[in-house]
């Protein structure tokens, strides 16, 4: 039984002084945590976080990577190789906010995933349906279609997917345990033929995970961890969520 994975996604939040305080508090508070913990910090602060996390068990994670695997004339981009150079382990890809604001589709995500795998990093593919898709009863079909990007890939020893219903992100409207259970079972069933039985499949839940709902969510079958947004910016809240996973 692999340990639960909890990743805090800071999104576009951070300043040098505040980052240092938060990471120091997490290092102190999570030293004995049994869960696997990562923090996905903005690209601008990856170097600071890499140094601040040195020697800790907290994994440095990124929130995106360039679709271009090799160095070149791609102004503004950060390659997966550069992330690896900074000590990054996990890379969030396809977060709904990137799909929404930067029109990331399966074609672009496929290139990003390939670049991240080529750099020896672990992609965390973010998927999830919108409220309209959920209300139309299309949520299972939508997420199944989003998994297509994983077909015929050399994923290594594990495949990590983060299920984040868009309507639960940042809204305080967390999915019900029944909704989480149904979707995670569905995703595990659909992922198996895609990645094969030799790959360890981990499906994280994200969408208004807080210290007061984390235990119930993490105890739900087929929930292998959580992708935490807002609550990850508060050391005490994030620590409680990680401890609920441990």
Ligand X SMILES: O=C[C@H](O)COP(=O)(O)O
- Residues of this chain that interact with ligand X (CB under 6 A) are 9, 164, 169-170, 206-209, 227-231
Query: What whole-number distance in Å separates Cα of residue 246 and Cα of residue 242?
Result: 6
Which of 55, 126, 52, 54 is closest to 90 using CA atoms?
126
Query: What DSSP state is assigned to residue 67?
Result: S
Annotated binding residue 10: yes
In the set 36, 95, 129, 133, the catalytic residue is 95
CB of 223 to ligand X, least distance (A): 14
Considering the complex, what minimum distance in angstroms separates the CB of residue 38 from ligand X?
Answer: 12
Query: Alpha carbon 110 to chain centroid distance?
Result: 16
Is 47 a known ligand-binding residue?
no
Kindly state the smallest distance separating residue 63's Cβ from ligand X, in Å.
Answer: 8
Q: Which is nearer to ligand X, 85 or 236 (CB)?
A: 236
- 95 counts as catalytic: yes
Closer by beta carbon to ligand X, 70 or else 236:
236
Cα four-point dihedral sign 113, 166, 200, 198: negative
Q: Of all residues in this chain, which one has the CB nearest to ligand X in the complex?
A: 229
Catalytic: 139? no
- CB–CB of 74/46 below 8 Å? no
Q: Which of 36, 129, 164, 184 is catalytic?
A: 164
Q: Is 8 annotated as a binding residue?
A: no
Q: Known binder of ligand: residue 208?
A: yes
Calculate the alpha carbon distances from 25 to 20, 28, 52, 55, 161 in Å: 9, 5, 11, 15, 28
Using CB atoms within 10 A of its CB, is residue 236 exposed (0-12), middle (13-18) or buried (19+)? exposed
* Choice between 161 and 169, CB closer to ligand X: 169
Residue number with CB closer to ligand X (69 or 93)? 93
- For residue 36, give both structure tokens: 């696997």
Shortest distance (Å) from residue 232 CB to ligand X: 7
Coil vs helix vs strand at 128: coil
Ligand-binding annotation for 11, yes or no, is yes
Cite the active site residues: 95, 164
Indicate the annotated binding residues for substrate: 9-11, 170, 208, 229-230
Q: Which residues are part of a known binding site? A: 9-11, 170, 208, 229-230
């Amino acid at each position: 039984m692999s340990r639960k994975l909890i990743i805090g996604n800071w999104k576009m939040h951070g300043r040098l002084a505040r980052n240092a305080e938060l990471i120091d508090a997490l290092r102190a508070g999570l030293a004995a945590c049994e869960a696997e913990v990562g923090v996905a910090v903005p690209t601008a602060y990856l170097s600071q976080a890499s140094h601040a996390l040195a020697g800790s068990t907290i994994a440095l994670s990124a929130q995106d990577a360039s679709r271009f695997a090799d160095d070149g004339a791609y102004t503004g981009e950060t390659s997966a190789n550069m992330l690896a150079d900074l000590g990054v382990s996990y890379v969030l890809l396809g977060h709904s906010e990137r799909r929404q604001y930067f029109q990331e589709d399966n074609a672009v995500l496929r290139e990003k995933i390939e670049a991240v795998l080529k750099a020896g990093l672990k992609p965390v593919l973010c998927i999830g349906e919108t409220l309209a898709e959920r209300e139309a009863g299309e949520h299972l079909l939508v997420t199944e279609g989003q998994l297509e990007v994983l077909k015929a890939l050399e994923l290594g020893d594990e495949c990590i997917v983060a299920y984040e219903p868009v309507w639960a992100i940042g809204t305080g409207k967390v999915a019900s345990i029944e909704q989480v259970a149904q979707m995670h079972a569905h995703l595990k069933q659909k992922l198996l033929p895609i990645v094969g039985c030799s790959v360890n499949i981990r499906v994280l839940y994200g969408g208004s995970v807080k210290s007061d709902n984390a235990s119930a969510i993490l105890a739900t079958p087929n929930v292998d961890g959580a992708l935490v947004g807002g609550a990850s910016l508060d050391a005490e809240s994030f620590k409680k969520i990680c401890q609920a996973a441990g």
